[in-house]
Structure 1
Amino acid sequence: MKIVTVLGARPQFVKAAAVSRAVAAHNAVQPDSSTMLQEIIVHTGQHFDENMSDIFFREMDIPRPHYHLAINSVGHGAMTGRMLEKIEEILLEGKPDFVLVYGDTNSTLAGALAAKKLHIRVVHVEAGLRSFNMRMPEEVNRILTDRISDILCCPTQQAVENLHREGFAGFSCTVAKTGDVMQDAAIFYSSFSAERSSIVERLGVQGRDFVLCTIHRAENTDDLDRCAAIVAALNEISRDIPIVFPLHPRTRKVLHANGQVLAFDPIEPVGYFDMIELLKHCKLVMTDSGGLQKEAYFFRKPCITLRDETEWSELVASGVNVLAGADKKLILDCFLTSVRARTVFADGLYGNGDASEQIIRTLFNA
């Protein structure tokens, strides 16, 4: 069975690491070639910064991409169109049984569209998520990808229920609750992340409380009022507690272009092992990243989400995540509450750490 995996952004590299490892484990115990899996990895180049892409392949022992399309730094339409064209060429040549896509990026949608138009079965990992905000490009990407997918691998029961409400039980597809592959990766890599990262010591925050913060979503970076309110809140918080802020290239560009000044020094984007160690040692996470919201939960850290809604509603319902949007006062209030409260973390929201194996099993049963 031949699988083409389409990747383009940091969270997808993390997820792919877990599934690629499950593919290798599956092949290691097969008695003959007829039940083996061949994975061909396509890197669209959507994230092109060294610290946002190539470093993940090196650090996480992901097989090097067979194809690197180097498509970036253009608008949504141009990016998705160019990816669609190039991925189609690869699929026509390789003739895979499945195309596997992750999450909600332009790379996700382009891979799914290219496969579907060639009548190749589409597997969507992290299917069924909904923020119910159609102004988010990610929401559009995930809805369209779900609708044309043949196998929908849902990380949570809420994701399954979202699809059922949208009528997927009547579509010709397989909906499976597999658990979350990011949890697989977190469990596996956290066991030796300290051996590969010294970032806590380098930043001088070992044994100290600090906030880990990331901002990158267009709803915050492209809206100057939202961006200014978040920066103002962070600057005030930084007077009380250090903030470790890996600065996304898009966010850096926006801050510079609009003269918005941080009252603390950000750091360059970091690799996955560095991020794990920062998560292990921080007091609190503040982010607009969907992936980092979950990773905060995996490492038992409270999270303030700098958005008006989240796909991970179970985190809010369980009390480990709070939505603060881009309201300065609300952000500050949430910060004070979060640092003082004792957060209780429920177990099992994202499966049992075997989502990658469940996905492989679903492919063979579909």
Structure 2
Amino acid sequence: MADQPEIAIVLGTRPEIIKLAPIIRHCRERSIPHTVIHTGQHYSDSLNDVFFAELGLPEPEYELEVGSASHGKQTGEMIVEIEDVLLEAEPATVLVQGDTNSVLAGAIATSKLSIDLGHVESGLRSHDRTMPEERNRVLTDHASDYLFAPTDQSRRALREEGIPDERIHVTGNTVVDAVEQNRTLAAERSSVFDDYDISRGEFCLLTAHRAETVDDEDRFASLLRGAGRVADALAREIVYPIHPRAANAVDEFDLVIPDGVRTIEPQQYLDFLALESEATLVLTDSGGVQEEACILGVPCVTLRENTERPETLAVDANVLVGTEPDAIHEGAVEMIDRTPAWPNPFGDGEAAERIVDAILRDEDRMTVTG
């Protein structure tokens, strides 16, 4: 065991916890030394620490509690804090996942030290450089030693940017691992349908939380009007677990939640997974929810002009509509009767094993040749 590397896993948001949980579990099952560094980018317990307990994970070894701030201040504080931890823990490899400020901060701190950097879910591109997430993921990819691309399309995007082939590993997406590990548990444990009197298979699910969506009064109001039209046209209630950011925007802008759209509290992961599994249609501005809906066989309408998950479009599991009410209505009508016969483009649920194996193989090689 002494010749195995120590892996440090940097995370800070709910999606990162969910998608890195399979890697943490895999390290624990194989007794691979690892350290979890939680930046605290999501600072609300309802969106953060509770997921560790719910997913059966131990508490992180390091909790930085950075919290909310401007992009520059938040990222800068995380770089300083992460560097201090890495100098203390001395891991051989750091893993980050996705495209948040925690990811960029972890990438910058690691790249300044003699530590390998691995980017889980690399190669995703929306080709919209106005998105902070797009800049984060591009910068992180180009700083990384290991680029764990979920699909061949992601690998092609990396090659087109001149990244050497030997640094790219197509592994599948750990979201498949997470969904497969947790969907049965969600069905058994979740009481969300009884708690909110929701009829399985008779509702649509809405998520809208991105800054470019809910921080723009006109855009958010337009999205809500579109959701109301969908509820009316499909004669189905739309259930909206409303993110605190969105709830604050509703109050600040004095927006009206349309008839047919019911807001509920943000849900823990297993409850949200249960809702996704039993919805007839998902409307979302989230990249991760696009993936999960595709994996679960639930038609999806994406409330954005672009997506870094084009695989969902290619298999006809998803449609892009933006936030105009007419387009949302048309997209929902198009997708509601879509037969979920599409193939899962995100892998077979063994991404975590492939990611860890790639790191161990390289460490073994360096031990032999060194």
TM-score (norm 2): 0.93
Match of 1:203 among 196, 200, 205: 196
Name the amino acid aligned to 2:350: D
What is the aligned residue count?
A: 354
**Is this contact kept in 1: 2:7–2:92, CA < 8 A?**
yes
Match of 1:213 in 2: 206
Name the amino acid aligned to 1:66: E
Instruction: Using the TM superposition, give the Cα deviation of residue 208 of structure 1 relative to its aligned residue in structure 2, in angstroms.
Output: 4.5
Match of 1:113 among 108, 111, 121: 108
**Residues 96-111 of structure 1 mapped to structure 2, 5 A cutoff:** 96-111=91-106
1:279-313 per-position Cα deviation (integer Å, ceiling 9, x unaligned): 11110111011100010011100000001011110
Q: Report sequence identity in percent.
A: 39
Match of 1:32 in 2: none
Match of 2:225 in 1: 232
Instruction: Using the TM superposition, give the Cα deviation of residue 236 of structure 1 relative to its aligned residue in structure 2, in angstroms.
Output: 2.5
Name the amino acid aligned to 1:151: Y
Name the amino acid aligned to 1:26: R
Match of 1:11 among 11, 15, 31: 15
Name the amino acid aligned to 1:364: L
Cα distance in 2 for partners of 1:167, 1:195 equals: 46
Cα distance in 2 for partners of 1:275, 1:118 equals: 38
Cα distance in 2 for partners of 1:122, 1:326 equals: 37
Match of 2:302 in 1: 305
Cα distance in 2 for partners of 1:68, 1:79 equals: 15
Match of 1:33 in 2: none
- Uncovered stretches (5+) of structure 1, i.e. residues with no partner: 28-36
Match of 2:125 in 1: 130
Q: Which secondary structure state, in structure 2, belongs to the residue aligned with residue 266 of structure 1? A: strand
Match of 1:59 among 44, 49, 54: 54
Name the amino acid aligned to 1:49: S
Cα distance in 2 for partners of 1:358, 1:334 equals: 36
1:145-176 per-position Cα deviation (integer Å, ceiling 9, x unaligned): 00000001011111000000111027xx6110
Cα distance in 2 for partners of 1:195, 1:319 equals: 30
Q: Which secondary structure state, in structure 1, belongs to the residue aligned with residue 164 of structure 2? A: helix
TM-score (norm 1): 0.94
Instruction: Using the TM superposition, give the Cα deviation of residue 218 of structure 1 relative to its aligned residue in structure 2, in angstroms.
Output: 1.5
Match of 1:341 in 2: 338
Q: Which secondary structure state, in structure 1, belongs to the residue aligned with residue 262 of structure 2? A: coil
Give RMSD over aligned pairs: 1.3
**Is this contact kept in 2: 1:17–1:61, CA < 8 A?**
no
Cα distance in 1 for partners of 2:58, 2:93 equals: 18
Match of 1:293 among 273, 281, 290: 290
Name the amino acid aligned to 2:91: P
**Is this contact kept in 2: 1:2–1:97, CA < 8 A?**
yes
Match of 2:368 in 1: none
Q: Which secondary structure state, in structure 2, belongs to the residue aligned with residue 161 of structure 1? A: helix
Match of 2:354 among 336, 352, 358: 358
Name the amino acid aligned to 1:163: L
Cα distance in 2 for partners of 1:316, 1:265 equals: 28
Q: Which secondary structure state, in structure 2, belongs to the residue aligned with residue 238 of structure 1? A: helix
